[in-house]
Amino acid sequence: MKILVVGGGGREHALIWKLSQSNKIEQIFCAPGNAGITSLATCVPIDADDIERLVEFARNENIDLTIVGPEDPLAAGIVDAFEAAELKIFGPNRAAAEIEGSKTFCKNLLKKYEIPTGDSASFDNLDDAIEYVYKKGAPIVVKADGLAAGKGVVVAQTVEEAEDAINKIMRRRAYGDAGKKIIIEEFLEGEEASFLVFTDGDIVVPMVTSQDHKPVFDDDKGPNTGGMGAYSPAPVISEGLFRRIMNDIMIPTVKAMAAEGCKYRGILYAGLMIKDGIPKVLEFNARFGDPETQPILMRLKSDLLPILEACISGHLAKTIVEWDERPTVCVAMASGGYPGEYENGQIISGLNLAGRLKDVMVFHAGTAKNEDDKVITNGGRVLGVTAIGDDIPQAINKAYHAVSKISWEGAHFRNDIGRKALKRI
């Protein structure tokens, strides 16, 4: 088979790394890819949101299956376009991807079908939003309604901070059209966890649990990012809580989408807040998480390709998914200044040293090659250094040992990825 993976981040590198292990795949293309992906796939210079050119490429190259990594092309209808061209593609269509593309759509769905989540209200008028914040008080959460690369969320500790966030999103349009509408949510206390499933629209098959680290600095300080690291499993999710999440959240949501006339096929990813053993939905994403995909796929023992094909064909009930019991940890290495302004073009050293370490994979995200064929930084999150160990402490140590081998000017990473897991073992 010939495969096309759409995207160019750490998630896509992890997907291609796993797919490359399948004996059913002859060739993998990636659009646009990155410096690390070039060793496993043929990178083509087509942007992930250039749907027309991607369709043309898949048709001309006789691509057997296209797999979409990022959320933007899904929300823009890439699946609809490929299916209209009679091309096989993995991911939810435009209507189903609204569960991530519009936080208002998601909240309304959850409320209608009584799926546990916090209270919220949506606004397209700035003054009404500010009035609501002063009425509700703080802490409170302000979110851009649309897609903002994981950064359009402000957990405001004061009403003044919430007002500033509303102005930033709606008046100054810090996240573009994603901020035409905002959603203001109840602040939920607890511990966050990520819960991803495969689904063909009827059957729901869970992946192993994981936990992301959104804020840029240690101890969850600073602004939100796309994710500064992740680990799997997440000990905060016990066996009983795992079943509760499946029965009260994941399966009902897939059924709710079908009832709304937008059957959901692909990856459904719930961001959860857990307090006193009770899970509530913070948000849903319509694709593999980043950086959760890196530690999750490192634990997947099964061939990924048949699982994805079963989601498309509706035969997920017949598919066996096996996981490695050992835990994994991913530490994101970022450009200095991220998630604010940062400089590209810094030469990265130590990649070969880290890559030779046992039980370690260095997944590239924001990387490219310069004229001298040296790997350079080309984005906010640059690398996802991922390790597997016999236990969580060992996986943490292996990941950070690999991180210590890698450097570039201004490199930044959190030093506490996995610390929350240590408190629970």
Average pLDDT, rounded, for the chain: 95
The mean pLDDT value for 249-275 works out to 97
DSSP type of residue 177 = G
List Cβ neighbours of 157 (8 Å cut-off, separation of 6 or more).
Answer: 138, 139
Residue spans of the domains in the chain: they are 2-91, 125-180, 191-318, 328-422
DSSP string, 114-146: T--B--EEEES-HHHHHHHHHHH-SSEEEEESS
CATH number of the 125-180 domain: 3.30.1490.20
Whether domain 2-91 has CATH 3.40.50.20: yes
Beta strand 65-68 with 2-7: parallel, antiparallel or unpaired? Answer: parallel
pLDDT in tens, 45-83: 999 999 999 999 999 999 999 999 999 999 999 999 999
- SS3 of residue 166 by DSSP: helix
> Do 110 and 117 form a contact (C-beta atoms < 8 A)?
yes
pLDDT over 90 for what percent of the chain?
Answer: 88
The mean pLDDT value for 272-291 works out to 95
Displacement of CA 215 from its chain's centroid (Å): 14
CATH number of the 328-422 domain: 3.90.600.10
Q: What angle is formed at CA 296 by the lines to CA 95 and CA 351, rounded to 5 degrees?
A: 115
pLDDT in tens, 199-239: 999 999 999 999 999 999 999 999 889 999 999 999 999 99
Amino acid of residue 94: R
pLDDT at 388 over 80: yes
Would you state the pLDDT for residue 150? 67
Would you state the pLDDT for residue 410? 96
Would you state the pLDDT for residue 32? 98
pLDDT in tens, 124-151: 988 998 999 999 999 999 989 888 776 7
pLDDT at 262 over 80: yes
* Ranges 164-178, 209-223, 336-350, 397-411: which has the least confidence: 164-178
Number of Cβ within 10 Å of residue 188's Cβ equals: 19
Whether domain 191-318 has CATH 3.40.50.2300: no
Beta strand 89-90 with 65-68: parallel, antiparallel or unpaired? Answer: parallel
pLDDT at 325 over 90: yes
Kind plus residue range of the DSSP H or E element containing 162: helix 159-166
The mean pLDDT value for 31-51 works out to 98
